[in-house]
C-alpha cells in the first residue's frame, strides 16, 4: 500500500511541473502583455511608455522566460498568486471566499448526483429490463444530451416563473438549490449508468448466488452483499465526476450569479486579467489532482487487486 | 464523462453494405441517423427553408410569441426565431466537424506514434497526454480561449485541442493490442517498412473503435462549444449559433420563454440525436459491448 501511494505521488511530479508550465506559458503566449492592456488609451504616449516600463520591471516582464518561470514558481510556493490587474488587489483576496463557494456548490451537486444516480442505477439493475429500467436508461440519455445552461434556465423558468415556488433572486440556502439541482441532476446520468452496469455485474457473481441459497432476502442481498462491491467502481468515476462538476460550475455559476471561481474565471478571461485567470486555472487543476489522488488511493485500499496491476 | 473504450475491436470491419443494413435495423441508429439527416438537409437548404432573413431586425415585431407568421416567435430585436434556428444548424454541424477533425487527426497520429514508436517517443507523448488529462476538460478549453481570445474559431480550436488526449489514449491502446497480431508480424516479415505497417496495416484495424469514439465525442464537443458561446467565450452574437442565441434571450426569460426554449430544444434534440446514433454505431460495430 505504502509503495502504491509513493508510486502514485511520484507520477504526480511531471504532471505538476506540466501544469505549472502551461499556466506560466499562458501568460507568455498571450499577444498583448497585461501591462500594455492596462494602460492602452488611458494616458499620453510618453507617460504610458514610462508607466509601462516601470510596471514591466515590477512584474519581471523584462527578464528571460526561464527566470520569469523560476520567479513564478517561487512566488507560488510563498502563496503569492500575483495581483489582479482589473480588481487592483492580490488575487488571493478575491479567490478565497469564491473558492469556498465553488466547493460548496460542487459538494451539494455531488450529493444530489450520488443520491439520484445511485438510486436510479441500482433500481434499474435490480429490476432489469422492467419499465423502470427502460425509463431510467432513457432519462439518463436525456441527461447526457442536455446542456447544463439550458437545463438551468429551464429550472428557473419552471420553478421561479411558472410555479412561483422560488423567488427570482433567492437568498441564503435557497440560492444554492437551483444551481446544485441543475448540476447534480445532469451528473446523475453517467453515475446511474455506471452504477447499473456494475450492479448487474456484481449480482451475477457466485457469492451472491450462495447468499441467495442460504436464504438471504432480496433486500439484504442487494444492500448488504452486492452494494459495497458495486460502489467501488462508482468511486473512481466520482473522482472524474468532480472534474466535470468543477467544469460545469464554470457555466452554471454565471447563470445563477453564484459567486464562485467559475463566474470569476469567465469575467477574468473577458477582462484579459491574466494573473486572475492563471490563478483560477491553477487552483482548479490542483483541486482536481488532489481529488483524483484521494479517489485512486481509496480505490486501491478498497480493492487490493488494483495495487497489484499497476 | 469518460469516453475511454478499453477493448478495441479485433474483427475485420464488416463490408459497408452489411454494415449499412445492420445499422438500418438498429432502432437507435435509425432515429439518431434521421435527426442527423434532417440537420444536414436544413443546413444545406437553409436559405430555401427559412421564411425570413435570420439577421433582419424588425423592432415593431420584437418578442412576439409563436404565431402563424412566426412559428417560434421573435427575439428581442424582432428577428424570426425559426429562421435563426434553421441557419443555426450550419453552425452546429460546422462545430461538430471542425472540433472532431482537430481532435481525431492529431490524437490518432499521436496515438499511433506512441503505440508503435520507440520507448522514448512513447514516454514523451504519454507524459504530455497525462498532463493534458490532469486538467478538467473545461479548464483545458479555457486555457486555450484565454490565450487566443473569445471567438467561434478559437472556441472550436480549443475544444478540438482538449479532445486530443482521449483519441491518443484510445488509439495507443488499440495499437498495442493490434501490433502483436499475426498479420502485423507477417507484414513485417514480408519486409514492409515501419510507416507502411503503421498506416497500411495497423490503422485500418483500429478504425472501428475510432468511429464509435468519434460518435460519442462529437455531441460532447458540440455541447461544450455551445456552453462556451453561452458564457460569452465562443461564438459572438448576432451569429445565429444556438448557444449564442441564448445569451441575449435569457434576459427575457420572464417575458419571452420561447426565445429560450427554441434554441435550447434545438441543441438538446441535435445532441440527443448524435448520442443515440453513437449508441447504434457501437451496437453494430462492437456487438460484444451490448447488454
List all residues 6 or more positions away from B107 whose beta carbon is below 8 Å from its beta carbon.
Answer: B163, B164, B165, B166, B167, B168, B170, B171
Q: Is B216 part of a structural domain of the chain? A: yes
Whether residues A185 and A253 fall in one domain: yes
For residue A186, how many other CB atoms are within 10 A of its CB?
A: 25
List all residues 6 or more positions away from B244 whose beta carbon is below 8 Å from its beta carbon.
Answer: B229, B230, B234, B235, B236, B237
Q: How many domains does chain A have?
A: 2
Q: How many domains does chain B have?
A: 1
Residue B132 is predicted with a pLDDT of 82
Whether residues A119 and A173 fall in one domain: yes
Whether residues A144 and A177 fall in one domain: yes
List all residues 6 or more positions away from B279 whose beta carbon is below 8 Å from its beta carbon.
Answer: A141, B28, B29, B32
CB-count burial class (<10 Å; 0-12, 13-18, 19+) for A182: buried
Q: Is B99 part of a structural domain of the chain? A: yes
Whether residues A266 and A292 fall in one domain: yes
Check CB contact of A150 with chain B, cutoff 8 Å.
yes
Q: pLDDT for B83-103, tens place per residue?
A: 999 999 999 999 999 999 999
Q: Is A201 part of a structural domain of the chain? A: yes
Q: Which residue of A has its CA nearest to B275?
A: A145
How high does pLDDT run on average in chain B? 84
Residue B11 is predicted with a pLDDT of 53
Q: pLDDT for B215-246, tens place per residue?
A: 888 998 998 888 889 888 888 888 889 988 88
**Cα A214 from chain centre:** 44
What does each C-alpha distance from B186 to B12, B190, B196, B197, B203 come to in angstroms?
17, 6, 13, 10, 16
Whether residues A153 and A45 fall in one domain: no
Question: In CATH, what number is assigned to the domain containing residue A231?
Answer: 1.10.3720.10
Question: In CATH, what number is assigned to the domain containing residue B250?
Answer: 1.10.3720.10
Measuring CA to CA, which residue among A186, A184, A172 is closest to residue A258?
Answer: A172
Calculate mean pLDDT across residues B115-124: 84
Q: Is B68 part of a structural domain of the chain? A: no
Question: Hey, are the CB atoms on A250 and B135 less than 8 Å from each other?
Answer: no
- Residue B3, pLDDT > 60, answer no
Calculate mean pLDDT across residues B205-217: 85
What does each C-alpha distance from A140 to A134, A137, A193, B182, B213 come to in angstroms?
10, 5, 7, 41, 19
Residue A266 is predicted with a pLDDT of 87
Residue B208 C-alpha cell reads as: 472501428
Whether residues A124 and A229 fall in one domain: yes
Peptide bond preceding B253 in cis form (omega within 30 of 0): no
pLDDT band at B148 (very low <50, low <70, confident <90, very high): confident
Whether residues A60 and A180 fall in one domain: no
Residue B12 is predicted with a pLDDT of 53
Residue A310 is predicted with a pLDDT of 46
Q: Which residue segment(s) compose the domain that A133 sits in? A: 96-302
What does each C-alpha distance from A248 to A152, A209, B107, B134 come to in angstroms?
11, 41, 24, 16
What does each C-alpha distance from A152 to A29, A105, A255, B291 come to in angstroms?
35, 14, 7, 33
Residue A167 is predicted with a pLDDT of 75
Q: Is A2 part of a structural domain of the chain? A: no
Reduce the DSSP state of residue B138 to 3 states and report it. helix
List all residues 6 or more positions away from B245 whose beta carbon is below 8 Å from its beta carbon.
Answer: B75, B81, B84, B88, B237, B259, B262, B263
Residue A18 is predicted with a pLDDT of 83
Calculate mean pLDDT across residues B22-26: 82
Residue A90 is predicted with a pLDDT of 84
- Predicted TM-score (pTM) of this structure: 0.83
Residue B220 C-alpha cell reads as: 460532447
Q: Is B262 part of a structural domain of the chain? A: yes
Q: Is A186 part of a structural domain of the chain? A: yes
Q: Is A19 part of a structural domain of the chain? A: no
Whether residues A293 and A251 fall in one domain: yes
Counting one residue from chain A and one from chain B, the pairs whose CB atoms sit within 8 A come to 131
pLDDT band at B290 (very low <50, low <70, confident <90, very high): very low
Measuring CA to CA, which residue among A254, A298, A290, A272 is closest to residue A102?
Answer: A254
Dist. CA B283–CA B280, nearest whole Å: 5
For residue A284, give the nearest of B136, B230, B232 by CB distance.
B136
Q: pLDDT for B256-278, tens place per residue?
A: 888 888 999 999 999 999 999 98
Q: ipTM value of the model?
A: 0.80
Instruction: List the single best residue of B123, B125, B135, B233 to mutate versus A (max A Cβ within 10 A).
Output: B135
Residue B165 C-alpha cell reads as: 488526449
Q: Mean pLDDT by 10-residue block, N- to C-terminus, for chain A (310 residues)? A: 82 84 77 60 69 72 78 82 79 87 91 92 86 86 88 87 77 81 89 87 84 83 82 78 79 86 87 84 87 82 66
Q: Is B290 part of a structural domain of the chain? A: no
Whether residues A186 and A262 fall in one domain: yes
Q: Which residue segment(s) compose the domain that B199 sits in? A: 25-47+84-285
A277: which chain B residues are within 8 Å (Cβ-Cβ)?
Answer: 142, 146
Question: Hey, are the CB atoms on A248 and B138 less than 8 Å from each other?
Answer: yes
Question: Hey, are the CB atoms on A144 and B231 less than 8 Å from each other?
Answer: no
Q: pLDDT for B36-87, tens place per residue?
A: 999 999 999 989 888 888 888 887 877 788 888 778 888 878 788 899 999 9
- Residue B10, pLDDT > 60, answer no
B165: which chain A residues are within 8 Å (Cβ-Cβ)?
Answer: none
Whether residues A143 and A265 fall in one domain: yes
Residue B191 C-alpha cell reads as: 519486409
CA distance A84 to chain B (A): 15
Dist. CA B173–CA B116, nearest whole Å: 10
Amino acid at each position: 500500500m505504502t509503495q502504491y501511494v509513493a508510486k502514485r505521488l511520484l507520477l504526480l511530479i511531471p504532471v505538476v511541473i506540466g501544469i505549472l508550465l502551461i499556466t506560466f506559458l499562458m501568460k507568455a503566449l498571450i499577444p498583448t502583455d497585461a501591462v500594455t492592456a492596462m494602460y492602452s488609451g488611458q494616458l499620453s504616449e510618453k507617460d504610458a511608455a514610462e508607466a509601462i516600463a516601470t510596471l514591466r520591471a515590477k512584474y519581471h516582464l523584462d527578464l528571460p522566460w526561464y527566470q520569469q518561470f523560476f520567479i513564478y514558481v517561487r512566488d507560488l510556493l510563498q502563496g503569492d498568486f500575483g495581483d489582479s490587474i482589473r480588481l487592483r488587489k492580490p488575487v488571493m483576496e478575491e479567490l478565497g471566499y469564491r473558492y469556498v463557494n465553488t466547493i460548496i456548490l460542487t459538494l451539494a451537486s455531488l450529493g444530489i448526483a450520488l443520491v439520484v444516480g445511485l438510486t436510479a442505477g441500482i433500481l434499474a439493475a435490480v429490476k432489469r429490463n422492467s419499465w423502470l429500467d427502460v425509463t431510467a436508461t432513457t432519462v439518463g440519455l436525456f441527461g447526457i444530451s442536455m446542456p447544463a445552461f439550458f437545463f438551468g434556465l429551464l429550472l428557473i423558468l419552471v420553478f421561479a416563473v411558472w410555479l412561483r415556488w422560488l423567488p427570482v433572486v433567492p437568498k441564503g440556502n435557497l440560492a444554492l438549490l437551483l444551481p446544485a439541482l441543475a448540476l447534480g441532476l445532469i451528473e446523475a446520468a453517467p453515475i446511474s449508468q455506471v452504477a447499473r452496469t456494475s450492479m448487474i455485474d456484481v449480482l451475477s457473481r457466485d457469492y451472491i448466488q450462495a447468499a441467495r441459497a442460504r436464504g438471504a432476502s432480496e433486500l439484504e442481498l442487494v444492500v448488504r452483499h452486492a452494494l459495497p462491491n458495486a460502489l467501488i467502481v462508482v468511486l473512481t468515476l466520482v473522482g472524474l465526476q468532480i472534474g466535470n462538476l468543477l467544469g460545469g460550475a464554470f457555466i452554471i455559476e454565471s447563470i445563477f450569479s453564484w459567486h464562485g471561481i467559475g463566474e470569476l474565471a469567465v469575467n477574468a478571461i473577458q477582462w484579459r486579467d491574466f494573473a486572475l485567470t492563471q490563478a483560477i486555472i491553477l487552483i482548479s487543476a490542483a483541486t482536481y489532482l488532489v481529488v483524483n489522488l484521494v479517489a485512486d488511493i481509496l480505490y486501491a485500499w478498497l480493492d487490493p487487486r488494483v495495487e497489484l496491476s499497476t | 464523462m469518460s469516453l475511454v473504450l478499453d477493448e478495441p475491436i479485433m474483427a475485420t470491419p464488416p463490408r459497408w453494405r452489411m454494415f449499412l443494413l445492420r445499422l438500418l435495423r438498429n432502432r437507435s441508429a435509425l432515429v439518431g441517423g434521421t435527426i442527423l439527416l434532417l440537420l444536414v438537409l436544413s443546413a444545406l437548404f437553409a436559405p430555401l427553408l427559412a421564411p425570413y432573413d435570420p439577421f433582419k431586425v424588425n423592432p415593431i415585431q420584437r418578442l412576439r410569441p409563436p404565431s402563424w407568421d412566426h412559428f417560434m416567435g421573435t427575439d428581442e430585436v424582432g428577428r424570426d426565431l425559426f429562421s435563426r434556428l434553421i441557419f443555426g444548424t450550419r453552425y452546429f454541424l460546422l462545430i461538430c466537424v471542425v472540433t472532431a477533425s482537430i481532435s481525431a487527426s492529431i490524437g490518432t497520429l499521436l496515438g499511433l506514434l506512441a503505440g508503435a514508436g520507440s520507448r522514448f517517443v512513447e514516454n514523451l507523448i504519454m507524459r504530455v497526454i497525462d498532463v493534458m488529462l490532469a486538467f478538467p476538460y473545461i479548464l483545458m478549453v479555457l486555457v486555450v480561449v484565454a490565450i487566443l481570445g473569445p471567438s467561434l474559431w478559437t472556441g472550436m480550436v480549443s475544444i478540438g485541442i482538449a479532445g486530443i488526449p482521449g483519441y491518443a489514449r484510445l488509439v495507443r491502446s488499440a495499437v498495442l493490442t493490434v501490433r502483436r497480431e499475426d498479420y502485423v508480424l507477417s507484414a513485417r516479415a514480408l519486409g514492409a517498412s515501419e510507416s507502411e505497417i503503421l498506416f497500411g496495416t495497423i490503422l485500418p484495424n483500429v478504425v472501428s473503435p475510432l468511429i464509435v469514439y468519434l460518435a460519442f465525442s462529437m455531441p460532447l464537443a458540440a455541447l461544450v462549444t455551445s456552453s462556451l458561446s453561452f458564457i460569452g467565450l465562443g461564438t459572438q452574437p448576432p451569429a445565429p449559433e444556438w448557444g449564442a442565441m441564448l445569451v441575449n434571450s435569457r434576459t427575457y426569460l420572464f417575458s419571452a420563454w420561447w426565445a429560450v426554449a427554441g434554441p435550447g430544444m434545438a441543441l438538446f434534440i441535435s445532441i440527443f440525436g448524435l448520442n443515440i446514433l453513437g449508441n447504434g454505431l457501437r451496437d453494430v460495430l462492437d456487438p460484444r459491448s451490448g447488454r
